[in-house]
Structure 1
Amino acid sequence: MLVRFGFELVIETNAALPLILALSPHSSYSGNVIGADRIRSEPQVPMEEFLDPFDNRRVRLVAPVGGLRLWSDNVIQDDGQPDVFNWNARQHEIEHLPPDTLQFLTPSRYCESDVLMQQAWDLFSSTPPGWARVQEICNFVHNHLVFGYRFGRPTKTANDAMLEGTGVCRDFAHLAIALCRAMNIPARYASGYLGDIGVPPSGPGDFCAWFEAYLEDRWYTFDARYNTPRIGRVLMVRGRDAADGAMVTSFGDYRLNSLRVWTDELPEQLSERDALDLLGKLPDAPALTLEMAGSS
């Protein structure tokens, strides 16, 4: 299955502004992307790409005074299968966990698992450890939080979401991660593209956050917001929480004028050559409103 994905971001600034972007497909997608897998700008500015400690692809640049348009448009090969489901996946004892998973057991900037420890054990201690426990956490978060862009704010934590009962997709992910960690399950934040593939259309595209839990010797994808396996995720970033995967980190103020995101399945009969030809012109995707842009 071929999936076309990309974004267009238009900002305005009154002074030269250093930016660090996390808007590229994750480095683990190497070899699966068709076309020039890079961020472009208008006007053209020098860009430096590097990998961060989570193997996320980052781009550093300086936005000039005035307007800057950033965009990317690519096609990726996807197996067309929904997120892997394994009800029998077991939970590891902490002493048997691989060392590189241990950092995803402790509290982080947006996931105060220590604050939520008692609530987590009150809610989920009777659930069998393993997949069933992570799924019960997803069920709880999915039902406990009301989704809405107006509920998003950059300082909102998992405990805030728990108390307020509202959030955007990153809040669903943060709360599920914190509850998993409180139950001794390694959990990490993930974000990227998730289009309406195999589900009814849901309106203008946006970036999406989900999480991954370590069970049965591997990381599995879970999504507390939608709470069902989905097709066509394109991972951009991983980390302990959203602080490790901010899409745009700015060292100064700017105005966001427009944000468009698209993730669309291409016709099965389309060849790679035809897919490349599509990338010469950006799709006519609707823009998010300024209230919505960047909130998830």
Structure 2
Amino acid sequence: MKIRIGYEIVYDLPQPTPMIMILGAHPTRSGDLIEPDRLKTDPAVPITRYRDGFDNMCSRLVAPAGRVRLYGNGIVRDSGVPEEVPHAAPQHAVEDLPSDTLVYLLGSRYCDTDRLSEIAWSLFSTGPPGWARVQAICDYVHDHITFGYEYARPTKTAWEAFNEGNGVCRDYAHLAIAFCRCMNIPARYCTAYLGDIGVPPVDAPMDFAGSFEAYLGGRWYTFDPRNNMPRIGRILIGRGRDAADVPITHTFGPNTLVSFKVITDEIV
């Protein structure tokens, strides 16, 4: 299967403004890229690329004052197979976890585990561990949160999403991540391209998708509490402790977002 991916983000800036972006397919998908969705700008400015501490590919630039367009288009090869469902994947004892997973047991900017620990243990401690426990968390979050773009705000934490009972895909992911960490399961936030491949199309503008990965049975597996089903054609962009580590754009100065478009379409 081939999938066309891309984005276009337009800002109005009152002054020259440094920016950092995590846009485009993750380095782990580089071997699948037929045409890279490399970031370009209009007007053209120098772009520096670097790997951050989570192995994401970041782009750094100084945008001029005025209207600035960030865009990229590419084609990626995908298996076309739904995401794996590891029913038998076991949960590790904390003392047996690899050292590089331990950071994903800790609270973070949007995953306030200290506030959710007692709730998590009351909800999920009696069920079986491993994959079944993570899936139980996803089932709960999927049913507990009502989706709506009108509920989005950049400051909403997992605790607030739990109490308000609404949010967007990143809020589903943050709450599920926090619950997993409370139950001693490493979990990390992911952002990705995710089109309507193999499912009925949604009557809404395409967007990047927030989900998470949990460490079970010696590897990381994808979970998606918003959709709560294995999907086809998820193209990873970035990973981190939560959305604060995976900014699509981080703008160091005042700005106005003029437009935002994402493309994820199967090439037939």
Residue pair 1:91, 1:215 contacting (<8 A) in 2 also: yes
Kindly report which structure 2 residues correspond to 1:212-223, keeping only aligned pairs within 5 A, or say none.
Answer: 212-223=213-224
1:280 match: none
The Cα offsets for residues 154-188 of structure 1, whole Å up to 9 and x where unpaired, read as 11100010010011100000000000000000000
- The 1-side partners of 2:113 and 2:168 are apart by 19
Kindly report which structure 2 residues correspond to 1:226-265, keeping only aligned pairs within 5 A, or say none.
Answer: 226-265=227-266
Q: CA RMSD in A?
A: 0.8
- The 2-side partners of 1:28 and 1:106 are apart by 25
What is the TM-score when the length of structure 2 is the normalising length? 0.98
Is residue 188 from structure 1 mapped to residue 166 from structure 2 by the alignment?
no
2:9 match: 9
- The 2-side partners of 1:10 and 1:37 are apart by 17
Residue pair 1:24, 1:58 contacting (<8 A) in 2 also: no
Residue pair 1:192, 1:234 contacting (<8 A) in 2 also: yes
Aligned-partner SS, 2:138: helix
Aligned-partner SS, 1:231: coil
Per-residue deviation, 1:74: 0.3
Is residue 105 from structure 1 mapped to residue 105 from structure 2 by the alignment?
yes
Q: Which amino acid aligns with 2:170?
A: R
Aligned-partner SS, 2:107: coil
1:51 match: 51
Residue pair 1:19, 1:61 contacting (<8 A) in 2 also: yes
- The 2-side partners of 1:150 and 1:246 are apart by 20
User: How many residues align structurally?
Assistant: 267
Kindly report which structure 2 residues correspond to 1:61-100, keeping only aligned pairs within 5 A, or say none.
Answer: 61-100=61-100
- The 2-side partners of 1:72 and 1:40 are apart by 6
- The 2-side partners of 1:193 and 1:88 are apart by 28
Per-residue deviation, 1:83: 1.0
What is the TM-score when the length of structure 1 is the normalising length? 0.89
Q: Which amino acid aligns with 1:10?
A: V
Unaligned runs of 5+ in 2: none
Per-residue deviation, 1:37: 3.7
Q: Which amino acid aligns with 2:118?
A: Q
- The 1-side partners of 2:41 and 2:136 are apart by 44
Aligned-partner SS, 2:31: coil
- The 1-side partners of 2:36 and 2:161 are apart by 39
Q: Which amino acid aligns with 2:83?
A: D
- The 2-side partners of 1:105 and 1:160 are apart by 20
After TM superposition, what 4+ stretches of structure 1 lie above 6 angstroms from structure 2? none
The Cα offsets for residues 186-232 of structure 1, whole Å up to 9 and x where unpaired, read as 00000011000001111321011000000010000000000000000
Aligned-partner SS, 1:263: strand
Kindly report which structure 2 residues correspond to 1:157-172, keeping only aligned pairs within 5 A, or say none.
Answer: 157-172=157-172
Per-residue deviation, 1:115: 1.3
2:133 match: 133
- The 1-side partners of 2:91 and 2:199 are apart by 31
- The 2-side partners of 1:234 and 1:167 are apart by 22
Aligned-partner SS, 1:115: helix
1:225 match: 226
Per-residue deviation, 1:36: 4.0
Q: Which amino acid aligns with 1:212?
A: E
2:156 match: 156
- The 1-side partners of 2:95 and 2:38 are apart by 41
Residue pair 2:6, 2:37 contacting (<8 A) in 1 also: no
